[in-house]
Structure 1
């Protein structure tokens, strides 16, 4: 800005009758005086899992059409969610370790003028960077490490100090050469949901979409919004919260799909009776539940007490207010295994009869849990392969975002989940 003001004064634009007449000679603009540009304001540009799997499966084709550096750049875009310019201009020494020995990416946020930012990355991504560093060092052994870049161009670059820049063009040509990518969608025909597969619009597959996909993966996995703000290096929390609005919509869709297979204590499906609920009634029903082991409780007094006003605590499967669904199947199976182990252990334990009878799981409870598991599995097996796949994806999302029920025990901050998209084995 100082340059342009100096040029305007040199062109005599501040003289009487000129556009900048009256501008003081000591007037100047600093970087901090310029209004901030909008951050990543458009959430929802993330790519579906099916598309990401297809892209990762064809990374070899990208390398064949361009070079190794372009492929590594795209992999780092996918894994880290950084902007294309930030990845292309990574220095050679962009990898370090934190106090726990976990890998950290060092990069410059050029858009926000923040240098040497730190981003936790998975070990697989660190291995990718290490391999690229070895490749660069082999190509340019005489160049000091401090001058090298991680992704040197192959054009007019004898010392390895010039970074690649043509990722956008080569990425576009690679995507255009890929076979059509299809993904599952649910449409309504004659008032009934029908699963169909449609072709994904390749125009939506561009390098910046990987940043949105990275954010959405973490939002869907239940990463707290303040943690995601740090990962995205956003200045404002409201920018990050846009991804969470999309995440909440996805979670609701997953919950709707899962609760369509909801069961009472007898193993009878109950949600099918409430399919026509209005949104307000749906919300009321959701609020009127409290999480309990292997399901939820709908008893108003227990809900109001946050789950601490139950006279039959830990015997939920025998209560008429208990509800469970397909997302709790693993919990039910683990609970059944625990009941059986407890029964066998108590059978061999030396104690008074009344004490053993009090502590031993009843045959009725074991039978009830077995019946629930069997009913859920029978209904799952009756679904089509496509419906089963959608249910499994919904269950995975619901379980990731579900809050763990604790009984007043102190909580330890969970480590950041490793959400790096898998690569096909070589």
Structure 2
């Protein structure tokens, strides 16, 4: 650095200091070559080196200069100043990546989108926040392009924008979807994003007099009716077949040879635990604990829902994988405190083991493509006869997040209760977990056929003896002609039309001719019977209450008697079946109850979970 201005020397030293602090090495030869060019060009600051390539620097030195200039830019600017630019360095806002607004051609719309982004970004979290922001900006760029193509003034006069421009934009999205330029999911996400941003502009006050969007008409907005249909089956069905999972597990050694041990361990943990890839990549070294009974538990952070310190029961074999990786990390970084180490440390710019791997998507994709074709048995028709053939499975469906779907599907196939699976998936809503697994139509239909013969009316009499001729209509009737109650089904037209919220008898189901139940509701009936007995004993105990209130709240003896008789009749019919028939009925009951959306209470995990970990060789 001899002979360079003091300001330039300070800039270079600061950049090297920041690179060293982040664990990146700076080659002395590269730094010397850059200093030589700066000295020859008589630069006062690093910004004076406008075009490093034209200055004669090699490609790797050009990259180093670009990184240094970005570091200096982050030092000298603030989020407020960065928000006024058309290309943002998101590191200034605490995120990774960049945000590019240049594809929004209308000046007013581009400024308004920047204001919206600056307001929305602080509420984001996680490593993917920058990518999500850019996708939202791209949605507004689609709207901008539609205006530029449709309007003579290219949409620059915002006072002229109206409902016709929204219709043209929606038609453009539909056209691109029909021609394969957009998927149905991308179309829906784009429409929802544009609708949300247009509405947010108004709540931010950007359309009032004196602001950027002054004069924007009220009909330049997307309504609910402009949203395309939500594609069906958005999540369920992304699990991998057992044959594919077995082949992947048998070739984990190849994954380690093609990448690193950390990538293999990460993949194993994804398969066994069903966590999100980001959650596994960022596991701390001390992520393994034991329950009082000695069972291993994985400690992780749910960054997506901002739920920290989560616990997941895992198999002992999975715990052994974690233990072996912990030993490798301690040998590699003996001087770093264990509290600062990561279970899967990055192999790049990580001298102390405190940085986790950034992801395994590229390595995993290369590994999956290198494997032989995944052959899965598929039933096809040849000359009208069903034939099982081994057909290749689409390798594009083999990606890290698919292991989370497979984890949910394996537990669902083992009859794990939906509320327990919700806890295992770490979801707040049961509906979210139900989107991760599916019950095939064949299994669902077969289950309904089995339990349909075990239907009873409110008196405990069989109501479906001629089953064979009614099977097809029963599947339709279950969808449109009845509504679920807490312990049976109701066919009263008014209540069905109201979705189960307009019972004329105030939900006294056992006294209504429209009520019927089947064997799948037996646990609910038993729980209801026990609740009636508890309520009666509690009301008969000594506490202050008026006689009329006590009498109104007291369960009637007739209701208790009918519930008990109905339970006894269902159990008696079950006892008349053979052991094989009882096993088939129990299996069908499990399938139907797993797909039932009405869940009461929030049970906890009270029994050992089945070991559904895919088998693989050591």
1:308 is matched with which residue?
568
Offset, 1:115:
2.1
**Aligned equivalents of 1:123 and 1:156: distance in 2?**
33
Indicate conservation of the 8 Å contact 2:447/2:592, yes or no. Answer: no
Report the Cα offset of residue 174 of structure 1. Answer: 0.8
1:344 aligns with none
Q: Does residue 512 of structure 2 align to residue 252 of structure 1?
A: no
* 1:54 alignment counterpart: 247
The equivalent residue for 1:118 is 311
Query: Aligned residue for 2:616?
Result: 423
Say if 2:341 is the partner of 1:132.
Answer: no
Correspondences of 1:206-245 after superposition (within 5 Å): 206-244=399-437
Distance 2:235 2:571 in 1: 49
Distance 1:402 1:124 in 2: 32
* Counterpart Cα distance in 1 of 2:357 and 2:124: 32
CA distance in 2, matches of 1:311, 1:224: 22
Segment of structure 1 superposing worse, 189-198 or 232-241: 189-198
Give, in angstroms, the shift of residue 105 of structure 1.
1.2
1:385 corresponding residue in structure 2: none
Judged with a 3 Å threshold, the aligned counterparts in structure 2 of structure 1 residues 28 and 177 are, in CA distance, closer, same or farther, namely: closer
The offset of 1:157, in angstroms, is: 2.6
Q: By how many angstroms is 1:31 displaced?
A: 5.1
Distance 1:177 1:75 in 2: 18
Tell me whether 1:102 sits opposite 2:102 in the alignment: no
Q: How far, CA to CA, are the matches of 2:317 and 2:567 in structure 1?
A: 41
1:86/1:109 contact within 8 Å kept:
yes
Query: Deviations 1:321-349 (Å, cap 9, x if unpaired)?
Result: x79559659x9xxxxxxxxxxxxxxxxxx
TM-score by length of 1: 0.60
Gaps of 5+ in 1: 12-16, 260-272, 292-303, 332-396, 404-411
- Tell me the alpha carbon deviations over residues 148-192 of structure 1, each in whole angstroms, 9 at most, x when there is no partner: 110113333322222222511111111111111111222344554
Local SS of the residue matching 2:436: helix
Instruction: Call closer, same or farther: CA 1:59–1:305 in 2, change over 3 Å.
Output: farther
Classify 1:143/1:312 alpha carbon distance in 2 versus 1 (closer, same or farther; 3 Å). closer
- C-alpha deviation, 1:6, in angstroms: 6.2
**C-alpha spacing 1:61/1:30, structure 2 compared with 1 (3 Å):** closer
d(CA) in 2 for partners of 1:33, 1:148: 26
1:42-100 alpha-carbon deviations (Å, 9 max, x no partner): 22100011111111111111111112111100000101111111111111011112333
Please point out which of 333, 348, 351 is paired with 1:158: 351
Q: CA separation in 2, counterparts of 1:310 and 1:158?
A: 67
Aligned residue among 380, 389, 398 for 1:196: 389
1:401 Cα deviation after fit: 5.0
For the residues of structure 2 that align with 1:283 and 1:134, how far apart are their CA atoms? Answer: 58
The 2-side partners of 1:278 and 1:398 are apart by 15
CA distance in 2, matches of 1:202, 1:132: 29
Once the two structures are TM-superposed, the CA of residue 32 in structure 1 deviates from its matched residue by 5.4
Say which one has the larger Rg: 2
Provide the residue aligned with 2:261 in structure 1. 68
Contact kept? 2:368, 2:398, Cα under 8 Å:
yes
| Cα shift at 1:132 | 0.6
Deviation at 1:124, TM superposition (A): 1.2
Task: State the shift of 1:134 in Å.
Answer: 0.8
The residue matched to 2:378 in structure 1 has which SS?
strand
Change (3 A) 1:208 1:253: farther
Distance 1:10 1:194, change over 3 A: closer
CA contact 2:281–2:359 (8 Å) conserved in 1: no
CA distance in 2, matches of 1:414, 1:191: 47
Kept after mapping to 2: 8 A contact 1:219/1:243: no
**1:350-389 equivalence runs, <5 A:** none
Residues in 2 aligned to 1:176 and 1:250: alpha-carbon distance in whole angstroms: 32
Instruction: Sort the Cα spacing of 1:315 and 1:84 in 2 relative to 1 into closer, same or farther, 3 A.
Output: closer
- Which of 235, 238, 250 matches 1:45? 238
- CA, structure 1 residues 137+49, in 2 after alignment: closer, same or farther (shift >3 Å)? same
Highest relative contact order (Cα 8 Å, sep 6+), 1 or 2? 1
Distance 1:254 1:83 in 2: 33
Residues 341, 353 of structure 2: 8 Å contact kept:
yes
Partner of 2:59: none
Q: Give the C-alpha shift of residue 282 in structure 1.
A: 6.0
Q: What is the TM-score when the length of structure 2 is the normalising length?
A: 0.43
Report if the CA contact (8 A) 1:94-1:106 is conserved. yes
Distance of 1:253 and 1:313 partners within structure 2? 22
Structure richer in helix, relative to its length:
2
Of 231-240 and 166-175, more deviation after overlay is shown by 231-240
